[in-house]
Amino acid sequence: MSTQKDPKTGKWNVQYWYTDWTGKRKHSVKRGFNTKRDADEWLSSFQNRKGSKLNISFGDFVEIYFEDMEVRLRKSTILSKRYLFNSKILPYFKDKRMDEITVSDIRKWQNHLIRTEKSATYIKTINNQMAALFNYAVRYYDLGSNPCSKAGTVGKSNADEMNIWTLEEFSLFLDAIIDKPQSYMAFMLLFWTGMRVGELLALTPSDIDFETRVIRITKSYQRLNKEDLITEPKTECSRRKITIPEFLIPYIKDYESRIYGLKKNERLFPFTKGFLEHEMKRGVKISGVKKIRIHDLRHSHASLLISMGFGVKDIQSRLGHQKSSTTLDTYSHLYPDSQAKLATKLNDFYRGGSDEKEEE
């Protein structure tokens, strides 16, 4: 292995031998370094990545990754991952060799994301997909190390601010869409149960038990590539029972009675998320309330429960979060006075103890 200056271009090249992923010994040249120092640093990095035998292109390895994952993940998950790779990752790395992608390459790509993407949470999602691919390469294809681990993470798990509606804002919005029973009932359930929009759109009459006031969440709906898909819930914990307030029962019964010939296993809301997004825009425009996303109704429900004094475990169970840490991380900022309350109770406890001693 050696570094040499190309007399024609003035750039530095690295000549090296490697063992490819099939076990064959091969010779290659890495060209185009501006200085000998850059070339030497790259060579040193390459030599330190012991076990790096994955000399196929990044684009080809992505196909290997998806071929394996397609039988293990939900179709909707695969489509989402595909979109992120095709639009945010492959344009940057497609022709690079897997075993030549360095920490520096990852850092440059991350900086590109930071400059071009507005949402910190979206940046983190994209970066996580890249890290997952390299973890897969390390675990199953003997890549020496994951450059994403050394490069560090970017973005944020949660947005700095969470847009939610208060009960007053939601009531104004409902009044604006009361002319469409489908929209009215759909948004009522989203706000008062905290279910995900896919869970709502998959609901059938058989999922609702009016006697026990329970809605069983057992599936999810998505419209992907012009195809209606009913899939398993997001996680095993998403499969749950949501007890609904009694006042919702007559609303749901009245809604069902308006659907002619409705069968037990037919969808109660036979439309897509796009329809609900259109209706939300219409309701916001008419009512004048601030614009939020449909998913923010789930956050609005959680905020309402927190304001009523419910704890993390109760909210975790109702929303179907797999971990209580997810619930806490997502909604911790909605407990702004929790530390103040804690300090007040400690103070009261101390004062109570001091008073008793003085009386003695």
Q: What is the pLDDT of residues 70-79, one digit of tens each?
A: 988 888 788 8
Domains of the chain: 2-151 (1.10.150.130), 167-334 (1.10.443.10)
Mention every residue, 6+ apart, whose C-beta is less than 8 A from residue 253.
210
Within 10 Å of residue 289's Cβ, how many Cβ atoms? 18
Closest listed residue to residue 75, CA positions, set 180, 177, 227: 227
Give the bridge partners for 217, in sequence order. 240
Q: Is the pLDDT at 135 greater than 90, yes or no?
A: yes
Question: Are 301 and 195 within 8 A, CB to CB?
Answer: no
Q: What 8-state DSSP symbol labels residue 70?
A: T
Cα separation values, 99 from 1, 154, 196, 275, Å: 16, 22, 40, 46
Cβ neighbours of residue 222 closer than 8 Å, sequence gap 6 or more: 76, 198, 229, 231, 273
Query: φ and ψ at 304, to 5 degrees?
Result: -60, -45
- Distance, in Å, from the CA atom of 165 to the CA atom of 191, rounded to the nearest integer, reads 9
Q: What pairing do the DSSP bridges indicate for beta strands 214-217 and 220-224?
A: unpaired
Q: Which residues contact 297 (CB under 8 A, 6 or more apart)?
A: 165, 170, 187, 190, 191, 194
Q: What is the pLDDT of residues 310-328, one digit of tens each?
A: 888 999 999 998 888 778 7
Residue 3, classed as helix, strand or coil, is: strand
Backbone angles phi, psi at 214, to 5 degrees: -125, 135
Quick: pLDDT tens for 121-134: 889 999 999 999 99
Q: Look at 358 and 280; give whichever has higher pLDDT.
A: 280
CA distance readout (Å), 82 to 59, 88, 223, 227? 12, 10, 16, 17
The pLDDT assigned to 336 comes to 55
pLDDT digits (tens, 9 = 90+) for 183-240: 999 999 999 999 999 999 999 999 999 999 999 999 999 887 788 888 888 788 889 9
| Secondary structure (3-state) at 145 | coil
Report the alpha-carbon distance of residue 308 to residue 74 in Å, rounded.
36
Q: What is the mean pLDDT of the chain?
A: 87
pLDDT digits (tens, 9 = 90+) for 254-282: 999 999 999 999 999 999 999 999 999 99
Helix, strand, coil fractions of the chain, as percent rounded to 5: 55, 10, 30
220-228 long-range CB contacts below 8 Å, 24 or more apart? Answer: 220/76, 220/196, 221/267, 222/76, 222/198, 222/273, 223/272, 223/273, 223/274, 224/75, 224/76, 224/79, 225/79
268, with CB counted inside 10 A (0-12, 13-18, 19+), is buried
Question: Considering only 10-14, 148-152, 279-283, 286-290, which range has the smallest mean pLDDT?
Answer: 10-14
Specify whether the backbone of 266 is left (phi greater than 0), alpha (psi in -120 to 50) or beta.
beta
State the average pLDDT over residues 163-168.
91
Alpha-carbon distance of 2 to 29, in angstroms, equals 10
Tell me the pLDDT tens digit for each residue of 76-97.
788 889 989 999 999 999 999 9
The DSSP code for 87 is I
Tell me: pLDDT of 343 over 70.
yes
Q: What's the chain's length in residues? A: 360
Dihedral of alpha carbons 45, 51, 56, 61, sign: negative
Q: Which residues of 192-217 are buried (b: 16+ CB within 10 A; e: fewer)?
A: bbbbbbbbbbbbbbebbeeeeeebeb
Q: Specify the pLDDT at position 26.
A: 74
Its pTM stands at 0.67
CA 282, chain centre distance (Å) = 27
pLDDT of residue 358: 47
Lowest-confidence segment of 54-63, 154-163, 294-303 by average pLDDT: 154-163
* Radius of gyration in angstroms for the set of CA atoms belonging to the chain, rounded to a whole number: 28
What distance in Å separates the CA atoms of residue 156 and residue 261, rounded to the nearest whole number?
Answer: 48
For residue 357, the model assigns a pLDDT of 47
